Amino acid sequence: MSDRFHPISLKHLLTNITTELEKRQSFYGIPQELAFNPAQYSAFTQNIFRQNIDTPVGVAAGPHSQLAQNIIGSWMMGARYIELKTVQTLDEIEVAKPCIDMQDEGYNCEWSQELKIKESFNEYLNAWIAVHYLNHKLHGDRPLNTIFNMSVGYNLEGIMNDNVQWFFAKMKDCSAELKVKIDEVKAEFPEVAQLNIPSRISDNITLSTMHGCPADEIQDIGMYLLKEQKLHTFIKLNPTLLGPVELRKILNQTSNFKSVIPDQAFEHDLKYPQALEIIKALGDEAKRQDLEFGLKLTNTLETQNYKGIFGDDVPMMYMSGRSLHPLTVNIARKLQNDFNGQLQLSFSGGADAFNISDVLAAGFKTVTVSSDLLKPGGYMRLNQYFEEMQKRFSEANVQNISGLIEKMGGSSELKESAHTYLQKYADQVLTDERYQRTRIQDPSIKTDRELGMFDCIAAPCRETCATNQDIPDYLYYT
């Protein structure tokens, strides 16, 4: 299998997915009956950046938001807040392969996009057109209610370079490119020309800064995005904000993860008092510009490479997944305490089907996932997110996310109620066994079964059973 990305044309994208839908009632191998139906889950609507989205669930900037087909697959399964893969001026980097390990908690050694910036934009535009077309085909005149959230990095000098400036301009107005693509496909897909697809793909952004980016530079970039680009802006912060004592206590002592967080991770990252100053300054500027400002919690956590998966030439790897969950929630509590619960937050730190309702009740406006979707089931795991949310709504006897926040926090004032529940949840995750490493050996789902190009879903318990018993069915019916 190739380790290089080979983008395909919009015409091929639309042909492939419509042919599969019509002939097999599936898309990318996923049964169409599992696809997200916004009419079924109208209670999950959220508003951010002055736009409605059908669900607050999305994919984080990463492997699920780089190629158009990945974005389409996530959208089909209900992701409505798409944090596009981070772009940066250095668009010819060599990424070590493998670059992701997802046995339990996740680790990666990748950077930003593996495509050139113009190729990345082309993928985002193809996906933008495709989801508008599929929304019309599957849901009629229903609004798209989807946000494409830009992600850029990693320093001000790079952001000011011509190729990143070009990217900003095209995400703001892609009229010419949009017309060319519509002209290319309208003979076979005439509906595309009738859809009035917006030429502005995004008016919002998440800033991803390098580990070690100076505090004044983070603030300068944020100011530039607000004042010059006029973008609703979120700043992604690192778990190291907790400081070495508290972070290591939670990760290594309370949760029992063996990952070693080097001193340098804390030395070169943003310090908490600096973060408070930046948040206040950018929040004030956003008000002056009549824009929304918030924080994305959190980035991955820099750790020493001890697993050997990435090779000896990779000294550091970056942690994601369930091990980050208590860290992220407790950073949120710390920040909200200092801002009286007034911060607008987006979550990315070990979200899954069983904690997403708690995360939303704690006041996070959106929740993006990556590590969980890299495990068996892939995009289909999103189904369980919505099922569990619906179950939680029913148990709480509420009709929407606002109702859940009020019920869980005990107040009709949403921010106050969310802040109250965040205090409770931040304590709860510290003792929850789901976020603790309780095993001697790392789990593995690998078996002797040959892995095909598409036939990648199998129950390892069935494969390793000497008599190939159908254990998943036993579990389902008992």
Nearest-angstrom CA–CA distance, 36 and 146: 13
pLDDT of the residue at 80:
99
- Residue pLDDT, tens place only, 437-461: 986 566 677 777 777 766 666 777 7
* More confident: 462 or 238: 238
Structural domains of the chain sorted by starting position, each given as residue range(s) with its CATH number in brackets: 10-444 (3.20.20.70)
**Predicted TM-score (pTM) of this structure:** 0.94
- Residue pLDDT, tens place only, 351-372: 999 999 999 999 999 999 999 9
Nearest-angstrom CA–CA distance, 292 and 289: 9
Specify the residue for token string 């904000």.
241
Q: What is the DSSP string of 284-326?
A: HHHHHTT--EEEEE---EEEE--SSSS-TT--EEEEESGGGHH
Contacts of residue 377, defined as CB under 8 A and 6 or more positions apart, other chains included, come to: 457
pLDDT of the residue at 1:
45
Contacts of residue 112, defined as CB under 8 A and 6 or more positions apart, other chains included, come to: 85, 86, 87, 88, 90, 91, 93, 153, 154, 208
Q: Which of 26-30, 33-37, 153-157 is predicted with the least confidence, judged by mean pLDDT?
A: 153-157
- Residue pLDDT, tens place only, 171-220: 999 999 999 999 999 999 999 999 999 999 999 999 988 777 889 999 99
- Residue pLDDT, tens place only, 383-413: 999 999 999 999 999 999 999 999 999 999 9
Q: Which of 180-189, 255-264, 278-287 is predicted with the least confidence, judged by mean pLDDT?
A: 255-264
The conformation of residue 242, written as its DSSP 8-state character, comes to: G
pLDDT of the residue at 311:
78
310: pLDDT strictly greater than 60? yes
Would you say 20 and 27 are in contact if contact means Cβ atoms under 8 Å apart?
Answer: yes
Q: What is the DSSP string of 39-92?
A: TTTGGG-EEETTEEES-SEEE-SSTTSSSHHHHHHHHHTT--EEEPPPB-S---
Determine the Cα angle at 354 with ends 151 and 78, to 5°.
Answer: 50
